[in-house]
Amino acid sequence: MNVKRRTFLLGSAGALAAHAAPPSDQVVLGVIGSGSRGTFVMTVFQKDAALRVGAICDVYEPNLERAISTASKVAGTQPKVYRNYRELLADKDVQAVLIATPEHWHYQMVMDALAAGKDIYVEKPLCQTPEQGAKLVEAEKKTKSVIQVGMQRRSYDLYLEGRGIVASGKLGSVRMVRGWWLNNYLGGAAATKLDGPLDWEQWQGPAPHHPFDANRFRQWRFYADYAGGILADQGAHVFDGFHMLMNATYPSAVNASGGKPHKAGVDQPESVVAIAEYPEDFIGVFSVNYAAMQYQSRNDQLNQLDGDLARMDIGREDLKVFLKGAEDRPAMEKKSEKGFGYATDLHVSNFLECVRSRQTPTAPMKLAFPAALVVQMANLSLKQGRRLKWNAGLGRVEA
């Protein structure tokens, strides 16, 4: 598909029915996990006029009903309803799946989707443990499926520009990359009830089982049974940005320090510093603090690449380059044409283009796993109180 035609499809109104496109361009999508993020990304998929949402699966009825209603706003869309993802994967009409469930389900669902022969768009982090990630990367080598992980910076114009600046040598030798993310999620009491029926046992799935707890469902990102806390949730994005900008591979070692949790009911800290060492001869330092003051979203995250000739600052919406000895005024400035929100549009577009062309997308599992690995190692470092190494040859974490 040529670029002009792809741009037309992305920009077309959702009311254009999918069958208006040639059969070779049509893609039927199944959505597994229709919470706020899953439903939002589904609507981004629906901007492609040749995409039809054919099925939606969720174990929480309010989410399922809301997603069905949202999807059906596009003319000609009547998704099948599933409450078990394996039944959706068995649907022969579904070609590609969007997996936007809690993190503890990603590994098994991706493996099952591969076995079913589906193309896959899976939200980050890719997996919950280093062992899972190593198995997924091996599985990717053997499959013909197209797999995109939701690391949208890899499709984002601003980060592509930044990567080119680093590669040009304009910054000189970069031995440290620093990133921070500041926000505040401490307000509010723990959840005690839900708005509708939930299949609690199916939702827990492969995780350790507990009696029903509404807060575990609502705040799953901040429980070790289901995810890696705010460090993993935001750190996977930031470290993936480091890797992309620096053309880095796996970390050689990771160390981390953190505070205690202050959010009601959860077991993961909101203030953490993670330091990763790389064989490309630089270190990446990420500080996350979700007990800070509230920022406007465009200002809550920044990365700085410290070269010996210049420094590059790159955030959500713009980048600036400051030359040595002239750091008061940027020598170069670049703003994203459409802002950070458009990065998801670009990432989904890249995935669909690759589904049709059978090319490799911008964020396959082999590139996404290293970012998940860094934050997993950081959490293990917090737990064990020591620096940990990655044995790339054996694919495992070692002391």
Residue 5 has pLDDT above 90, yes or no: no
Which tokens is 392 given? 């790339």
Backbone angles phi, psi at 173, to 5 degrees: -85, 125
Give CA–CA dist 308/312, Å, rounded.
11
Give CA–CA dist 306/312, Å, rounded.
7
Kindly tell me the burial class for residue 165, based on how many C-beta atoms sit within 10 Å of its own C-beta (0-12, 13-18, 19 or more).
buried
Of 352, 315, 33, give the one whose Cα is nearest residue 153: 315
β-pair type (174-182, 96-99): unpaired
Percent of the chain with pLDDT over 70: 94
> Whole-prediction pTM value?
0.93
Q: Look-up: residue for tokens 């992305």? A: 10
pLDDT band of residue 8 (cuts 50, 70, 90) is very low
β-pair type (388-391, 253-258): antiparallel
pLDDT value for 21: 55
Of 179, 169, 178, 162, give the one whose Cα is nearest residue 310: 169
For 288, half-sphere exposure in the C-beta direction (CA atoms, 13 angstrom radius) is 26
β-pair type (51-57, 80-82): parallel
Backbone angles phi, psi at 147, to 5 degrees: -130, 125
pLDDT digits (tens, 9 = 90+) for 382-396: 999 999 999 988 999
Kindly tell me the burial class for residue 368, based on how many C-beta atoms sit within 10 Å of its own C-beta (0-12, 13-18, 19 or more).
buried
What lies within 8 Å, CB to CB, of 168 at 6+ separation is none
pLDDT digits (tens, 9 = 90+) for 325-358: 999 999 999 999 899 999 999 999 999 999 999 9
Contact in structure between 80 and 87 (CB atoms under 8 Å): no
pLDDT digits (tens, 9 = 90+) for 208-267: 999 999 999 999 999 999 999 999 999 999 999 999 999 999 999 999 999 999 999 999
Of 281, 283, 280, give the one whose Cα is nearest residue 239: 283
Give CA–CA dist 368/265, Å, rounded.
30
What lies within 8 Å, CB to CB, of 326 at 6+ separation is none
Residue 15 has pLDDT above 50, yes or no: no
pLDDT digits (tens, 9 = 90+) for 20-54: 456 668 999 999 999 999 999 999 999 999 999 99
Our measurement of the distance from residue 7's CA atom to the centroid of its chain's CA atoms, rounded to an integer in Å, reads: 23
